[in-house]
Every structure is written in C-alpha cells, then in structure tokens.
C-alpha cells in the first residue's frame, strides 16, 4: 500500500474521528463499503470524498477509496478538526425534570433525543440542553458533563444527572456495583412462555456490523451482562415485559431479548420493524403497519430508577408514565387480543 504523498497534512496534524480493527475473518472488501457498515449515518459519497482528501488511513498511511480491507487492518478516519462531540454547544432545549436538588437531578428523556453528541448528531442532545441550563457540571470518564449513565436515542425514560464531582463518583459507583435499580417496560415480538426469567450472555460489538451489539459465549468476547424479566401481559403475537438490569451494557435489553427470540417491537436496528410473528392475512399486516405508525421507534421505556442519594444516604425511587405513543400501541394490541379471543 502506498501513502498518498500529495496530502500536506501528516498524522500529527489530524484528529482521529473513528478507529476500527478488521477481524481475523474479514474477507477483502472495498474500504468505502467496509466503513458504511461501521459508521452510523455515513454515505458512500462522503466516505469516498474523505478518502480522496486523504482522511482515511490504514496501518498508518492514507489510502484511496478502492483500497480493499483485509484481516487485521487498522482503519482510522482522520480530519483536521476535532470530533464534533468534543465541541459542545449549549442549547436552550426544555428539560422534563422530575426531581432536582443541589447535587443531582432526574430527567425524563423523550424518545428521539440523543443523550450525547456523536457522529451525525451534534446538536439537540441531552448534553447540549444540560450545559445550557446548568453551569460547571462534572465530567465523567468519557468527558461528558453530568452523565452517570445513558439510554438509547429512541428509548424514553429516566436518567440521573450529577451536578457535583462527589455526586458523580458516588452514583457511578452504585451503577458499577449493580446496586442501582432500573426497570424498563418492553413490548416484544412473540409469546414469552415463561412468567419470569434471567438472560445472561456477554455483550460486545457485532464483528460483522459495528452498529449492532451481539451476545457471545461466556468467556469469549464482550462483557458480562444480566437482564431479568417478568411477563406483565400477553397479547398473542406480542408480550409486554418488565425488564430489570443487573448490568448496563450498550443495547443490553434490545440484544438480550433478540438473543432469546423476542426482538423488541419496531426495533429497526435488530429487525423488529418487520412482522416477526402472526398470520399471513393482509388485514393483520395492515394492523401491524398501523401499530408501527403509532409507535415509530423501539417499544422500550426506562420507567423506574432507584439509587441511594449521595448526601442524605436515603434510597430514592422515581417512576414515570409510559409515553403516549407506546401506551397507544400497547392498547391497540390489547384490543386486538380481546377481539381475537372473542372470535
């Protein structure tokens, strides 16, 4: 592979925006196609332009867009400016604050709001709102102000935010030691037969699709993950669950439920936006399509959050209503189940 000498910038003058290591089983694949599988919101044109500009590097040298990635390659996307997520801008975005005192606040995040800036989402995030409304928030280990934990963009629900360094340390320790309480409400495809159960399985990045997480055999890849569930109601082709987290891995509930054959309803990233259970009747498909329109996101809500207050030492538990879009979708399935039983 030859470095493209015509580019004036060298590695020391560039900022790393993305870094990937091609797996041992990687078949030769054009780098623009490879990066489209790994970078969210990227287009092939943008990747090709980045390569033309000398911003795509493999094993320490810039490559052209037709370079074929092979097993073991270290791919980096470099630009002359820092990543946008490092350039935080305060934005006057309203917050639904459930509780607030001198050291922390609890926020009810709406579906569709990204928690922190990242590729393709540089504004409108919870952090943009937090740094507008609050000064001098402490930074976590990832340099993100106030964040103790996070939930996905299209998951709604409760988050605790630290306002002091001491509160950040105290709360982070509770999440690390698994003493915090987190309950989620999930609508999943299929009839979950067990009334309750526990899902265990290490979670890590899917080597074939970096935008997804994957469950690996114990001791292989990923990090330990434990999810407990219990059935709240069964509606025939879908089931309403309460899920509690013992660990807090990226996409944990989403990937664990898919792993046991019960993908979240309308979870596009994991295949839940298709009709996974039910009949072949056109009328049923129309019903499901209407349910997707009512709830245009994965059916997951962080309903309950509990932790020990860093100053008072008292255990605090907060509860939130299921959002209207998800509640309407659940009601639609409830009525469908009643109608089916009546027939």
Q: Which residues does the annotation mark as catalytic?
A: 152
Residue in the structure block whose two tokens are 């964040």: 147
User: Between the CA of residue 18 and those of 6, 55, 75, 153, what are the distances in Å?
Assistant: 23, 11, 8, 20
* Helix (H/G/I), strand (E/B), else coil: 42: coil
**Hey, which residues does 305 pair with through a beta bridge?**
182, 318
* Helix (H/G/I), strand (E/B), else coil: 49: helix
Sign of the C-alpha dihedral computed for residues 134, 150, 119 and 186 taken in this order: negative
> Between vectors from CA 192 to CA 234 and to CA 154, what angle results, nearest 5°?
80
Alpha carbon distance 243, 287 (integer Å): 26
8 Å CB contact between 193 and 254: no
Structure tokens at 312: 């008072």
Greatest distance between any 2 Cα atoms in the chain:
74
């Amino acid at each position: 592979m030859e470095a493209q000498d015509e580019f004036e910038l060298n590695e020391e003058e560039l900022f790393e925006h993305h870094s990937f290591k091609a797996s041992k089983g990687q078949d030769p694949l054009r780098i623009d196609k490879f990066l489209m599988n790994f970078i969210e919101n990227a287009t092939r044109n943008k990747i090709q332009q980045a390569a033309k500009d000398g911003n795509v590097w493999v094993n320490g040298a810039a490559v052209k867009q037709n370079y074929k990635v092979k097993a073991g390659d270290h791919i980096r996307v470099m630009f002359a400016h820092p990543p946008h997520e490092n350039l935080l801008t305060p934005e006057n975005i309203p917050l639904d604050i459930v509780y607030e005192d001198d050291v922390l606040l609890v926020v009810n995040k709406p579906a569709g709001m990204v928690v922190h800036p990242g590729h393709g989402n540089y504004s409108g995030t919870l952090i943009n709102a937090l740094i507008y409304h609050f000064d001098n928030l402490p930074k976590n280990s990832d340099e993100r102000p106030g964040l103790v934990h996070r939930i996905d963009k299209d998951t709604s629900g409760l988050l605790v935010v630290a306002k002091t360094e001491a509160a950040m340390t105290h709360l982070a320790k509770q999440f690390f030691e698994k003493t915090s309480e987190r309950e989620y409400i999930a609508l999943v495809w299929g009839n979950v037969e067990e009334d309750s159960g526990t899902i265990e399985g290490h979670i890590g990045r899917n080597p074939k699709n970096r935008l997804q997480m994957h469950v690996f055999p114990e001791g292989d890849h990923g990090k330990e993950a434990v999810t407990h569930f219990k059935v709240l109601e069964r509606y025939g082709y879908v089931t309403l669950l309460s899920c509690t987290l013992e660990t807090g891995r990226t996409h944990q509930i989403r990937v664990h439920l898919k792993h046991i054959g019960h993908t979240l309803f309308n979870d596009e990233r994991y295949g839940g936006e298709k009709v996974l259970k039910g009949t072949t009747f056109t009328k049923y498909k129309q019903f499901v399509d209407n349910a997707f329109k009512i709830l245009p996101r994965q059916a997951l809500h962080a309903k309950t959050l509990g932790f020990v207050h860093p100053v008072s030492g008292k255990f605090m538990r907060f509860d939130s209503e299921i959002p209207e879009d998800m509640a309407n979708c659940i009601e639609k399935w409830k009525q469908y189940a009643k109608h089916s039983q009546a027939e």
